[in-house]
Amino acid sequence: MKAEKIDKKQAILDAAEKLFCETGYEGTSTRQISKESGANMAMINYYFGSKEGVFIEIMNGRIASFGSQLKIINEDKISSLEKLHKIIEGYVNRILSNPAFHKMMHRELSLTQRPEMYDKIKDAMSQNMQIMDRIIADGIEDGSFNQVDARMVIATIMGTITNIVISPHKVMPFSSFDLNNPKDKKNIKERTITYLQDLLTVYLTTKK
């Protein structure tokens, strides 16, 4: 019975994520989520309380998953630069595995009428930022990195990836380019990872 409840809860999350990507947050109703997941409205309310609760659960799950990946990388016995390279590769692959969700998430959280949703997931995001901060700080302390603004470095990584997902035509000026096409996606992944790794290597380690 317990396993059945877990499966039903996950079915609700999967259905909601699909609908949010297709029609946006405003365009998705709990009734649609209920129909898509096969769960009744009472069950959605029981697990999540509201549509907002479903969205926050999805976001926190993704953030926590990336946080687990960051912790593993941070505990690895490699240099701070190698850790950042791994983070870049992991983040690019994670975001481009589902660009539709990332576009939807970025749109919804940047809307002025959604500050309460952003506030509810900010703590989870902050924990991930602190791990990245620590990796950069360690590189500065051991002399392998220049004295840099760590948060600007993090913003450069995340902002570049988000910009490519939202406006891929800026780096792939072909009308036929499609992020859902495996060949095009592989191309943009490799370019993004190589660019960010090279950019940060030069910025962080070239002595001024």
Using one digit for the tens of pLDDT, what is the confidence trace for 139-167?
999 999 999 999 999 999 999 999 988 88
CB neighbour burial string for 8-37, b if at least 16 within 10 angstroms, e if fewer: bbebbbebbbbbbbeeebeebebebbbebb
Over residues 34-47, the pLDDT tens digits come to 999 999 999 999 99
pLDDT in tens, the chain (208 residues): 455 556 889 999 999 999 998 888 889 999 999 999 999 999 999 999 999 999 999 989 999 999 999 999 999 999 999 999 999 999 999 999 888 888 888 877 777 666 777 777 888 889 999 999 999 999 999 999 999 999 999 999 999 999 988 888 888 766 667 777 888 888 899 999 999 999 999 999 998 7
Tell me the HSE value of 66 on the side-chain side, using a 13 A CA sphere: 25
pTM for the model stands at 0.86
Which residue segments constitute the domains of the chain, with CATH numbers given?
Answer: 1-49 (1.10.10.60), 56-205 (1.10.357.10)
